[in-house]
Amino acid sequence: MQQLPDINDVYRARERIAAQIHRTPVLKSRTLNRLLSAELFFKCENFQRTGAFKFRGALNSVLALDNNLALRGVTTHSSGNHGSALALAASVRGVPAYIVMPTTAVDVKRRAAVAYGAQVIDCEPTLSAREAGAAEIMRATGAAFVHPYNDPRVIAGQGTIALELREQIRLLDTVIVPIGGGGLISGVALALKALAPNVRVVGAEPTSADDARQSLAAGVLIESQEPVTVADGLRTSLGEVTFQMIQRYVDDIITASEEAIIRMMRMVWERMKISIEPSSAVPLAALFENRDSVPGTKIGIVLSGGNSDLSNLPWK
Amino acid sequence: MQQLPDINDVYRARERIAAQIHRTPVLKSRTLNRLLSAELFFKCENFQRTGAFKFRGALNSVLALDNNLALRGVTTHSSGNHGSALALAASVRGVPAYIVMPTTAVDVKRRAAVAYGAQVIDCEPTLSAREAGAAEIMRATGAAFVHPYNDPRVIAGQGTIALELREQIRLLDTVIVPIGGGGLISGVALALKALAPNVRVVGAEPTSADDARQSLAAGVLIESQEPVTVADGLRTSLGEVTFQMIQRYVDDIITASEEAIIRMMRMVWERMKISIEPSSAVPLAALFENRDSVPGTKIGIVLSGGNSDLSNLPWK
């Protein structure tokens, strides 16, 4: 069992990564405030380097490795944002990155990892093939495995978002964060509960991929079974570490229909003029579908990323 | 002949509109800097209220009216951003707005004007029908006509962009601005030449709608003849006032192919995670196609607006 990260790990993560990450802005929208009768503050990790929050955790992990280990490089398996994040993190440290990618990964993700200097290794699109591919890399190169979420250093890196948000906006009532593997909400919730225990931390999932909500309700880790959702970043199930963190620090989990996710993604693009990926729209969509206690409150929303395929947007 | 605006008009415009407009951010992009070997600063008027710079000039015009005149309302003909900008400006002052719109205007523009409380009057999609529609409104209501660009107060309002940009980024070598009717570049160039005469002010047009470049070269106003370009905001020809302003203050005009406009629009969306309309991509596209003197310089680029039809983007 890995040790759970605490607030000091988040502070250390910030020290490590501050020079290389963007301190992302917080945006507001009159239209959305009016529609919800609330005051919303959007923490824009879609503007983070590599286009997603994942770079924070990946960079913290890579920079925390001791020199001998780091020189052998890092590896992961990923079809999404963690792969390019780890590729750039390794490039920042000047060490090799080996990214195992299923052949079904969209081409733009593959090109992003290659552009950051990573070696991309193809594998069949199954979890066992991905894990076998990474294990083979580790044997052959001695590279360190960096898990996309179930890792205390990755979680501590994502928690730096909450440190920034606290400095940017005081007196929030609630912060809402999308849940896929749970790394993002684990870090954010950990930091907020240490710094501002009165802030409610709420997770948001697609209704069709609500493994975290089910797990929290049941008290045991329940994995999702090939969920079908437009929010491709949220199809993953929790890990042992992130499940414990969520049990400890998260107040509630709310869900959003596919229709609302697509509608809110489009509304953010149209009204706020920023690109967000479907996963980033899930907290807002869940708010619209669970709005009883929303009016009159101040709500922070983490927009987790902005990497969409512009040739294949989820609306007509 | 109308009197040309000067820097004091721009300062007065800022006093009038400051409380209602957004001071828009300036963004940077590592990727684009690397591709051009230059340092680019994007002034994000796509984040302005109504999604485009037009709100500045429209608001300045409406707020500058004396009370008796203002109470009768304001009118214009527009199929684009000026219509919704004037509608919101009138709403801010609490006076009626009558927007004459060709029946071919996209539905989202019509709905925007209506949402801001304007009365929208349909007309045939010809310039004469538009002008006749506005003239009829003026006769019937006494509303004041607010031209989209050929008006000193509108130009002074757009010039406030340059005041902000100067405060946000010092020591620019060049500022590039798209040219449609010329109101935006007239205001920006006027203000920059007054405050920082060494900054080169360059206009950018689609190659297929280069009436301003032709006019500047010929020394007489040449109107474009139904130009075909994806940059729908730049199909308009210059007016008498804006042509004089451009002759006086603009150093050069460069052009961009349709292919480059679409490619750069997409690149800004993908890399910077912000939505811009095709017209906003024209300066960047023109830079890529006219890059001899670009390397090593600091360039300000005005992103004029972000109102695209997300169901009909110009790429496959």
Contact residues, B window 49-88, toward A, CB-based 8 Å cutoff: 49, 51
Rounded CA separation A21/B240 (Å): 49
Is there a domain that residue A87 lies in? yes
The conformation of residue A131, written as its DSSP 8-state character, comes to: H
Classify residue A313: in a domain, yes or no: no
- Chain A residue closest in CA terms to B315: A311
Q: Is 90 exceeded by the pLDDT of residue B226?
A: no
Same domain, A46 and A186: yes
Task: Return the structure tokens found at A5.
Answer: 């990260």
pLDDT for the residue numbered B79:
80
DSSP state of B209: G
Q: Do B140 and B186 sit in the same domain of this protein?
A: no
Question: Is the Cβ of B106 closer than 8 Å to some Cβ of chain A?
Answer: no
From the candidates B84, B237, B280, B304, which is the catalytic residue? B304
Residues A163 and A260 grouped into a single domain: yes
Other beta carbons less than 10 A from residue B125's beta carbon:
13
Q: Does B310 touch chain A if contact means CB atoms closer than 8 Å?
A: yes
Residue A114 buriedness (CB in 10 A; 0-12 / 13-18 / 19+): middle
Q: Is residue B308 part of a domain?
A: no
Same structural domain for residues A295 and A158? yes
- To the nearest whole Å, the CA of B234 is away from the closest chain A CA by 20
Task: Kindly give the residue spans of alpha helices, DSSP state H, lying in A23-76.
Answer: 30-36, 54-64, 67-71
State whether A59 and A121 are in the same domain: yes
Do B131 and B163 belong to one domain?
Answer: no
Answer whether residue B1 is part of any domain: no
CB pairs under 8 A between A and B: 45
Using alpha carbons only, what angle is made at residue B13 by residues B11 and B17, rounded to the nearest 5 degrees? Answer: 125
Terminal Cα-to-Cα distance of chain A (whole angstroms):
47
Is residue A98 included in any domain, yes or no? yes
Q: Which of B253, B61, A111 is nearest to B74 (CA)?
A: B61
* Domain span including residue B89: 55-145
Q: Which amino acid is at A56?
A: R
Read off the pLDDT of each residue in B59-72 and give the average, rounded to a whole number. 97
* Cα–Cα distance measured from residue A142 to residue A32, given in angstroms and rounded to the nearest whole number: 49
pLDDT digits (tens, 9 = 90+) for B101-132: 988 887 888 889 999 999 999 999 888 999 99
Same domain, A270 and A133: no
Q: What is the dihedral of CA A152, A156, A159, A160, to 10 degrees?
A: -170
Q: Give the end of a domain, one of A124, A145, A166.
A: A145
What mean pLDDT value characterizes chain B?
Answer: 95
Query: Is A275 an 8 Å CB contact of chain B?
Result: yes
- Which pLDDT tens digits describe chain A residue by residue (316 residues)? 678 999 999 999 999 999 999 999 999 999 999 999 999 999 999 999 999 999 999 999 999 999 999 999 999 998 889 999 999 999 999 999 999 998 888 788 888 999 999 999 999 988 899 999 999 999 999 999 999 999 999 999 999 999 999 999 989 999 999 999 999 999 999 999 999 999 999 999 999 999 999 999 999 999 988 899 999 889 989 999 999 999 999 999 999 999 999 999 999 999 999 999 999 999 999 999 999 999 999 999 999 999 998 989 999 8
Residue B312 lies in a domain: no
Determine, for residues A273 and B269 on separate chains, whether the beta-carbon distance falls below 8 Å.
no
Question: Looking at the complex, does the CB of residue A316 fall below 8 Å from at least one CB of chain B?
Answer: yes
Question: Pick from B125, B145, B165: which residue ends a domain?
Answer: B145
Q: Which of A111, A129, A145 is the last residue of a domain?
A: A145
Is the ipTM beyond the 0.90 threshold?
A: yes
Mean pLDDT across B155-178: 97
Q: What is the rounded CA–CA span in Å between residue B282 and residue A211? A: 46
| Same-domain status, B30 and B42 | yes
How many domains does one find in chain A? 2
> How many beta carbons lie within 10 A of that of residue A127, not counting itself?
10
- A129/A211 same-domain check: no
B43 is catalytic: no
For residue B71, the model assigns a pLDDT of 96
Q: Are residues A186 and A252 in the same domain?
A: yes
Is residue A312, in this structure, part of any structural domain at all?
no
Both B27 and B125 in a single domain? no
Contact call for A315 and B313, based on CB within 8 A? no
Contact check, Cβ <8 Å, B310/A313: yes
Q: Which two tokens stand for residue B127?
A: 């310039």
Assign residue B207 the CATH number of its domain: 3.40.50.1100
Contact A304, A45 (CB under 8 A): yes
